[in-house]
Structure 1
């Protein structure tokens, strides 16, 4: 059974929200260990930047792997 588009969207949104929250909390805990002191607003901005980069990375890798899958199917079809 395939996942519906609505559920895929919901999963993606929850994944991004959890990732963003985890990034901000991690920064609040880890930055002071390295002598970095930032405000909550700065941490939230940094988290947003890394979240945007992560979304872009995930999208690019997904498209690359989809391209590899399509190439493999074309190759298999040509050999058949």
Structure 2
């Protein structure tokens, strides 16, 4: 099923909002381990600096993968269409033959 551009944006936005919350929580816990002391306002600002980049990245990657998927489907459909349009081979000889003609076995020989 094809995902619309709008739904790609909704998905990317939801991913960014959840990621933003996790990033803020992670910064609050991890920054002090490295001696970085900041207030909540700084954490929120640092997080916001990456929101636009993250949103664009998520949206563009989603669209890229959707384009690749649709091209693959299109190619597969073209191949099926070409297969269905082929003319059936005429049946002029019902005898099984190999490249050099009909194969014959000597009396008493085994086929393998």
| TM-score (normalised: structure 2) | 0.55
Gaps of 5+ in 1: none
Instruction: Give the corresponding residue for 1:65.
Output: 65
Does the 8 A contact of 2:12 with 2:58 survive in 1?
A: no
Deviation at residue 13 of structure 1 after TM alignment:
5.4
Instruction: Give the corresponding residue for 1:54.
Output: 54
| TM-score (normalised: structure 1) | 0.73
Which protein has the bigger helix share?
1
1:41 aligns with 2:41: yes
Instruction: Give the corresponding residue for 2:83.
Output: none
**C-alpha distance in structure 1 between counterparts of 2:63 and 2:38, whole Å:** 36
Gaps of 5+ in 2: 1-5, 81-112
Over aligned residues, Cα RMSD in angstroms? 2.4
